Amino acid sequence: MTQPIAAALNVVMLGPPGAGKGTQAERFARTHGLPKISTGDILREAVTTDTELGRAARATMDRGTLVGDDVMIGIVGERLERPDTHRGFVLDGFPRTVEQATALDRLMGGRGALVVVDIIVPEDVLLRRLAARRICGSCGVNALVEWTTTCGNCGGELVTRTDDGLDIVRERLKVYHRQTKPIVDFYSGRPTFRTIDGNQPPDQVTALMDKAICQASAVSRNGVRL
């Protein structure tokens, strides 16, 4: 089993809906004692705590539109200032645009390398997974593979998502690939960028991801210019 990494470790998880990046981000963060930072979670927290950025996010979401880059960058920047991120973090859902990725590079000043992992899964497999995907009927979080009938966060009942119809899923995947390709291009030339074959059992993906991230982190510690 891969040993926890002592140095600061900053990880960005990329991957389409159904690739399992939420599960893998949760596992990696737990194993290595890092906070898993989900943009959905921090958006909800910002809205609940009624910060200035939270109010801006709420106004945007109330209009039914996506939260803009400036607000998302501000909210993530505030979250990365907390003490629990000093040893590193696992980001899930950010960045989603090149502007956000560029801003994240600025936020990383003096914090160490950024390891970016892109989980690759064939579209037909994604469609099957998404059709069977479950969420918590109480708190709305996506179910991890190890949860059976109840939510690991709040104990609520797991239910099938109502928005995972085939046509809707196909459109979501098209949007994801259209939006994400520029981000993959932005990161792919870096020595700390890794791709993972996600079309495998979750435990095998976990092992591959641990190995890839540890190797990428070693590259950065050995003085390779990032």
Catalytic residue positions, numbered: 21, 96, 133, 161, 172
Rounded CA gap, 149 and 158, in Å?
6
Partners of 118 in the beta sheet? 14, 195
Rounded CA gap, 20 and 6, in Å?
26
Partners of 203 in the beta sheet? none
Handedness of CA 30, 179, 201, 213 (dihedral sign): negative
Whether residue 68 contacts residue 53, with contact meaning beta carbons closer than 8 Å, is answered with no
Rounded CA gap, 196 and 214, in Å?
13
Return the DSSP state at 150.
Answer: B
Rounded CA gap, 69 and 49, in Å?
20
Strands 9-14 and 134-136: unpaired
